[in-house]
Amino acid sequence: MAATLQQLATAGLDDFYRGDLARSLARDLAAAGSAVTADDLRNHRAGWRKPLALAHSQGTAYNLPPPTQGVVSLMILGILDVLDIGATERDSADYVHLCVEAVKQAFAIRDRHVTDPAYMSEDAQGFLARSQLEALAARVDRRKAAPFGAGKGPADTIWMGVIDGAGRAVSFIQSLYHEYGSGIVLRESGINWQNRGCSFSLDERALNVLRPGRKPFHTLNPALALLGNGTTMVYGNMGGDGQPQTQSAVFTRCAIFGMSPQAAIAAPRWLLGRTWGQTTDTLKLESRFAPAVIDELRARGHDVEVLGAFDEAVGHAGAILRDANGMLQGGTDPRSDGGVAAW
């Protein structure tokens, strides 16, 4: 791996796709039985994409378009805005219930529509129209949990964010998907190969059916928001289906309830469905929620499972806020080994 990084530093990053390293990758992938060839690597090109934008009462929130689930994260925030989440008591049963029910509505859209944009029949930005969000919010019962099917599964992912002194901001995410990705370490390069292709289906009727050159659906969606008070916010987390859920917690706690990013991230969280190391589709709550909140969520029909006080199952989050006068605040997750640095 060290030699591979040195090769990229010496030969240039394009070597990964069209140089000696690319040829090495192709040889090892062929030996592992992969369908990815040297031509596939050679023909790959990164591209600029217009981000999705949500007009929110607190400003504008941005995320990535399909084949990511960025539209899901923005839909959740939009539905909660329509439901006036700020009128609830922070971390109350009402707050968690509405957040979870918004997730169910957004996931239903995701599972019906989100795939490689070249194969989508709907424009993802259209799902963020106020009329669409109002229609989804109208389906939320404030006193009763809606049924929930199944999640998309695990992830092995990291998020990073940076804001410089001039206010330039980056929200970045990287992932192998499942724990250790495909579990294949390429012999010549030492690269641990990812397995995002497992979101494809061999069922010809499936939304994400496998096709040559088609991009797989994936869960990665680093977030950024420009708030009306002049604050820039970069935030994100790992955790597959947990990514949009934790984003809703961090965003609402910071932008609506006025918490610092560190307090927002450290506060007790929830997870609906599965993520890395989990096999059940329950509503998972960290044990630091008040017992009365847990009991009330059960009474509303949620299949509640109580986790540890600071449980990795709810993901590893991070955030940086830069306010209008240039002051920076950062938050890192006590559930992980991340950190905040300034220089």
Beta bridge partners of 322: 232, 328
H/E element, 10: helix 2-11
Selection from 154, 101, 158, 321 nearest residue 229 by Cα: 321
Secondary structure letter of residue 21 according to DSSP: H
Q: How many whole angstroms separate alpha carbon 101 and alpha carbon 144? A: 9
Q: Is 282 a catalytic residue?
A: no
Among 4, 68, 88, 157, which one carries the catalytic annotation?
157
**R_g of the chain computed on alpha carbons:** 21
Across the chain, where does the E strand assignment appear?
Answer: 52-56, 59-63, 156-163, 169-177, 184-185, 192-193, 223-227, 232-237, 270-272, 283-286, 304-307, 317-322, 328-332
Q: Roughly what angle, to the nearest 10 degrees, separates helices 242-251 and 70-82?
A: 40
Structure tokens belonging to residue 299:
């009474």
Structure tokens belonging to residue 160:
């990073």
Active-site residue list: 157
